[in-house]
Amino acid sequence: MAQKPKRTKSGSAWMHEHVTDPYVKKAQLDSYRSRAAYKLLEIDQRDHLLRPGMTVVDLGAAPGSWCQVAVQKMKQKGRILAIDLLPMAPMPGVESLEGDFTEQAALDWLEEKLQSGRVDLVLSDMAPNISGIMLSDQARHYDLCELALDFAVNWLKPEGTFLVKVFQGVGFEAFRDRMRQAFEQVLIRKPDASRDRSTEVYLLGRRPRSS
C-alpha cells in the first residue's frame, strides 16, 4: 500500500487559514466561486468601476468570482470576455476562453471578439505558477502585469480603467512608474479581503494617456 505524502507544516497552516477564513465562509454562503469576489466588491464600492452596458475584459478569470461580481453589477447588460489557463465553468453573460494570455492565440481571440471595439474596463488577477524562488516568481508575475498593461493601453476607451493585482517588492516601483506613464491617475488599493500578511495590492489606472 502506497504511503500517503506527509502534509508539511506550511501546507497544514495554509489549510487551517483557508478553512477558518471568514471570507471563504462568506463566499460559500453568498455562492461566489472564491473569496476574491470581495476584493473586487470592495474596490468597486469605493471606485465605482462597474456599471451596466460596459465591455469588460477579465484576465486570469478562473474560477470566475470577478466575473460573477461584474455580471451582478452590470445587471447582465454589457459584455464580459474572460481568459484563464485553467478551465472556468460556464456563466451566463460571460464569454470565456481557456487559454494562455502570453500566447498570440489568446490575443487573437480577444481581438476577434472585440472587432475593433474599445473596452471600458480591463481586470487582471493573473499570477504565475509559484516555483518558490521569490525573485523568479516576482519577475514572472510582472511579465504578466506588463502584458496586461500593454493590452489595456491599446484597447481601453479614453475614459477606461485598468485594475491589476501586483505584489510589493522587487519590480513594484518600476511597474508603478510605468502605470503612471500610461494613465492620468494611478491609485493603490489594499482591500480588506487581501490577507494582512500578503504583499498583494491592486493598482488602479484611470484614463489612458494618449500616445
State the helix-helix crossing angle for 65-73 and 37-47, rounded to 10 degrees. Answer: 40
Would residue 165 show up in a list of annotated catalytic residues for this protein?
yes
CA distance 20 to 32: 17
- 160 burial via Cβ count (<10 Å: 0-12, 13-18, 19+): buried
Distance CA 124, CA 54 (A): 16
Which grid cell is 175? Answer: 511597474
Q: Choose the catalytic residue: 4, 39, 75, 165.
A: 165
Q: Which residues are catalytic?
A: 165
